[in-house]
């Protein structure tokens, strides 16, 4: 009878130990990710791409009208950054601005030259 109790207690402790291990691993992986600026980062990506696309499209149309078929894009302009933006917001804004600018510029040039 005493042996059954001991086996039951041993089994319960083993289950609790496994559960504690799983919870600690889960908590460690959650705390390893930086979620403090997650919403702002996504917003910076969207805003940067949108503004870059708009400015690239405008510049692509101007270049197409002025230079025709000749490839003229030398440098992507540096976007304006506000002082109040966080570090992560700026990084994501600038990165997506360049992508949006190239996309807008290329589409605008392609559309213009297709005419």
Q: Where are the domains of the chain?
A: 1-33, 36-114
> Is the model's pTM score more than 0.75?
no
Confidence at 2, pLDDT banded by 50, 70, 90: low
What percent of the chain stands above pLDDT 70? 77
Mean pLDDT of the chain: 76
DSSP per-residue codes, 3-27: HHHHHHHHHHHHHHHHHHHHHHHHH
pLDDT at position 91 is 84
Q: Identify the residue whose tokens are 């002082």.
A: 83
Other CB atoms within 10 A of residue 100 CB? 25
Q: Which residue has the higher pLDDT, 35 or 31?
A: 31
Q: What does the pLDDT average to over 48-62?
A: 84
Q: What is the 3-state secondary structure (H, E, C) of 41-78?
A: HHHHHHHHHHHHHHHHHHHHHHHHHHHCCCCCCCCCCC
């Amino acid at each position: 009878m005493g042996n059954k109790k001991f086996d039951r207690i041993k089994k319960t402790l083993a289950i609790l130990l496994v559960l504690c291990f799983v919870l600690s691993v889960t908590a460690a992986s959650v705390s390893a990710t930086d979620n403090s600026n997650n919403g702002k980062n996504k917003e910076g990506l969207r805003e940067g791409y949108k503004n870059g696309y708009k400015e690239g499209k405008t510049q692509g149309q101007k270049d197409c009208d002025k230079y025709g078929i000749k490839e003229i894009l030398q440098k992507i302009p540096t976007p304006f950054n506000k002082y109040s933006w966080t570090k992560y917001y700026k990084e994501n804004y600038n990165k997506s601005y360049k992508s949006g600018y190239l996309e807008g510029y290329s589409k605008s040039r392609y559309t213009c030259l297709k005419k």
